[in-house]
């Protein structure tokens, strides 16, 4: 029995040595095939996504446009409300009570003391000699002179009657923020919209919005606030104008701030500068609803 076990041991070792290379070869072959399958599946999925994107791009029934929401920020401060006026007066009173005496007030006290000493006969003329013969101007004389200048000063008017009625003027509503609207031909109608242009192959939506602003030929200098749109408006064309390849439009809005206030030259396209409260009378309700979402009251 023991002899049989001793003879079987070498046979088991030989059999295991022969099987190990076969298993190793099988593992290497399986790993290569697995890597190939993974690479093939990844390449196949990538190719499928690219093909799908091309198909979607070709067959998209929506036409893309970019519009610019150009704002002229307030030029002057708005009038204070009653509670703002009360708060302002309270702060001024607190500042006056806690303030120190200024140089002018110190000089005014010195002048009063000098006059009192002159009238009392207790005045030394050497004090005037120390000034080198310069003419002495009393603080009260300075105040009278400043008061006269203040009476003659006329501040510029906050409101210009001629500009307030001119909706194309940048000089109207100086204390409010204004928005630019331009007239566009949509089908057989003329509508007031924010300046917009159709997206072209090879440009970003922001570049399309910049081109829309440049198309006004009014030389408006603007600073765009972001590369991302602040809103989107989607609408369908009338049933008579729809086709299998075109259902409607998607308009992406980009915010910009007017950076140059020079009066624009005459333009081919009419345009308007309106306050937010005035937009409702010129924009369609659905369009106005989308615009209101990204407009902030100044």
Q: Which CATH number goes with the domain that contains 223? A: 3.90.79.10
In which element (H, E) is residue 110 found? helix 103-120
| Residue 110, pLDDT score | 85
Please choose, from the candidates 194, 184, 227, the residue with its C-alpha nearest in 3D space to the C-alpha of residue 67: 194
Which tens digit of pLDDT belongs to each residue from 241-264? 788 888 888 999 999 999 876 555
Please indicate, yes or no, if residue 118 is contained in any of the structural domains: no
Q: Cα separation of 170 and 72, whole Å?
A: 8
If one compares 8 and 80, the residue with the highest pLDDT of the two is 80
pLDDT band at 40 (very low <50, low <70, confident <90, very high): very low
Please indicate, yes or no, if residue 210 is contained in any of the structural domains: yes
Residue 45 has pLDDT above 60, yes or no: no
Q: Is 184 helix (H, G, I), strand (E, B) or coil?
A: strand
Please state the separation of Cα 95 from the chain's center in Å.
36
Q: Is 86 helix (H, G, I), strand (E, B) or coil?
A: helix
Tokens 């057989």 belong to which residue? 188
What are the E-state strand segments in 19-160?
Answer: 62-72
Tokens 């989607």 belong to which residue? 234
Most confident listed range (70-79, 181-190, 241-250, 258-267): 70-79
Please indicate, yes or no, if residue 53 is contained in any of the structural domains: no
Residue pair 279/271 in contact by the 8 Å Cβ criterion: no
pTM of the model: 0.63
| Residue 29, pLDDT score | 56
Please indicate, yes or no, if residue 279 is contained in any of the structural domains: yes
pLDDT band at 123 (very low <50, low <70, confident <90, very high): low
| Residue 157, pLDDT score | 78
Beta bridge partners of 191: 184
Please choose, from the candidates 184, 173, 216, 144, the residue with its C-alpha nearest in 3D space to the C-alpha of residue 284: 184
Please indicate, yes or no, if residue 245 is contained in any of the structural domains: yes
183's CB contacts (< 8 A; 6+ apart) are 190, 191, 192, 193, 269, 270, 271
Largest CA-CA distance found in the chain, in angstroms, rounded: 150
Residue pair 272/167 in contact by the 8 Å Cβ criterion: yes
Please indicate, yes or no, if residue 130 is contained in any of the structural domains: no
| Residue 220, pLDDT score | 86
Residue 27 has pLDDT above 80, yes or no: no
| Residue 36, pLDDT score | 44
Q: Is 297 helix (H, G, I), strand (E, B) or coil?
A: coil
185's CB contacts (< 8 A; 6+ apart) are none
Please indicate, yes or no, if residue 43 is contained in any of the structural domains: no
Structural domain boundaries enclosing 270: 62-77+160-292
Which tens digit of pLDDT belongs to each residue from 77-100? 888 899 999 999 999 999 999 988
Total domain count, the chain: 1
Please indicate, yes or no, if residue 176 is contained in any of the structural domains: yes
């Amino acid at each position: 029995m023991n002899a049989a076990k001793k003879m079987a041991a070498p046979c088991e070792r030989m059999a295991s040595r022969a099987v190990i290379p076969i298993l190793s070869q099988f593992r290497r072959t399986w790993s290569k095939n697995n890597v190939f399958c993974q690479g093939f599946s990844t390449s196949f999925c990538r190719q499928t996504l690219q093909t799908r994107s091309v198909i979607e791009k070709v067959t998209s029934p929506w036409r893309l446009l970019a519009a610019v929401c150009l704002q002229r920020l307030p030029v002057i401060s708005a009038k204070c409300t009653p509670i703002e006026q009360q708060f302002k007066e309270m702060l001024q009173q607190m500042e006056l009570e806690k303030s120190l005496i200024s140089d002018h007030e110190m000089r005014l006290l010195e002048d009063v003391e000098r006059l009192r000493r002159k009238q009392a006969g207790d005045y030394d003329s050497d004090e005037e000699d120390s000034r080198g013969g310069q003419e002495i101007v009393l603080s009260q004389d300075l105040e009278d002179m400043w008061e006269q200048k203040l009476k003659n000063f006329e501040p510029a008017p906050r409101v210009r009657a001629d500009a307030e009625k001119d909706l194309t003027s940048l000089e109207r509503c100086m204390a409010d923020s204004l928005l630019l609207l331009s007239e566009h031909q949509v089908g057989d109608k003329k509508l007031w919209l924010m300046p917009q242009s159709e997206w072209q192959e090879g440009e970003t939506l922001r570049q399309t919005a910049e081109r829309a602003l440049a198309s006004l030929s009014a030389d408006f200098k603007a600073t765009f606030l972001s590369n991302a749109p602040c809103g989107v408006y989607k609408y369908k064309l009338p049933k008579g104008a729809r086709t299998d390849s075109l259902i409607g439009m998607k308009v992406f809005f980009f915010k910009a701030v007017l950076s140059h206030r020079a009066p624009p030259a005459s333009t081919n396209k009419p345009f308007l500068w309106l306050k937010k409260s005035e937009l409702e009378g010129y924009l369609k309700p659905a369009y106005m609803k989308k615009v209101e979402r990204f407009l902030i009251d100044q």
